[in-house]
Structure 1
Amino acid sequence: MELFDQADIISRYTRAQAINDGVLRDVTATAAEAGFRFPVALTTAAWADAVAWNPDNGAAQDEDGRLWDVLFMAALEARRSPARGEDTNRRTYTIVRVPNVPGEEDPTERQLVLHIGPGDTAEPVITITLPGED
């Protein structure tokens, strides 16, 4: 018998539902090219800040390239040996990105969080968030 087999479920919101609702953006196919072996998704806030691109801004960028940068740097962070006492399930890493705001062209450093945890059926999944997001 499982621990919660007899428990009443008050509410449940699955990762699959979050992807279907657009709360998470599934980037597993591109992440696999960057070396990830588990499903990867970005929160909408992380996507908006680090990946989303308005082609009218004029800079020679696009969302595919920006997504690759986010995932490549995440893959490097995932392979880094953790410091003593560091949380091995949650890592903060830095990317450099051009702002997605007309008139703002100076690249800025942005922090993202790489989190590995259980998916809907306890399988390992990776979620990339902004700092402070759950």
Structure 2
Amino acid sequence: MAPFGELIHSYSRAQAIEDGVLVDLSALSREAGFNMPLAVTSGVWAIIAPEPMPSCQDWRGRAWDLLTILNLAIRRAAPGADRVDFAPLFVLKTGRPPEPVPMWAHCGPGDDGAAPVITIMLPGED
């Protein structure tokens, strides 16, 4: 039995992706050099793929920028760190300069409890 008693309900990463709470960017992240599944919260997705999209941009380019900055943050992080904070620049409104958007990424076990996954979130999300 679990130390806190019987499990009443659990919500898996796969369910969160199916429900749209998380958006799976694993295919694109593999192109960017990540070797584990990667997802973003719906809040981060709203920044990557806003409606309407600022002119001369697309979600893939914005996602690629996000992954590049995350990769740099991971390289600067302490060895063994499971969390990194970073702030990629995004044009949030057409005609405005890019603004830093604070985010954080967590690396931890996925649904199987063993294989690592990365989740990118906004401050206050978990």
Residue number in structure 2 paired with 1:113: 104
Unaligned runs of 5+ in 1: none
For residues 50-103 of structure 1, the C-alpha deviation after alignment (integer angstroms, 9 at most, x for no partner) is x0134564x2111110010011111111122428xxx8111101111101x45x
Residue number in structure 1 paired with 2:33: 35
Contact 2:84 2:105 in 1 (8 A): yes
Residue 76 (structure 1) aligned with residue 69 (structure 2):
no
Residue number in structure 2 paired with 1:128: 120
For the aligned residue pairs, the C-alpha RMSD in angstroms reads 2.0
Residue number in structure 1 paired with 2:89: 96
Percent identity of the aligned residues?
Answer: 42
Match of 1:20 among 18, 27, 32: 18
Letter in 2 for 1:75: N
Is the radius of gyration larger for structure 1 or structure 2?
A: 1
Residue 53 (structure 1) aligned with residue 50 (structure 2):
yes
Count residues with an aligned counterpart: 123
Which secondary structure state, in structure 2, belongs to the residue aligned with residue 42 of structure 1?
strand
Distance 1:27 1:125 in 2: 11
1:18–1:55 CA distance, 2 compared to 1 (3 A): same
Distance 1:17 1:81 in 2: 30
Letter in 2 for 1:74: L
Unaligned runs of 5+ in 2: none
Structure 1: which 4+ aligned runs deviate by more than 3 Å? Answer: 53-57
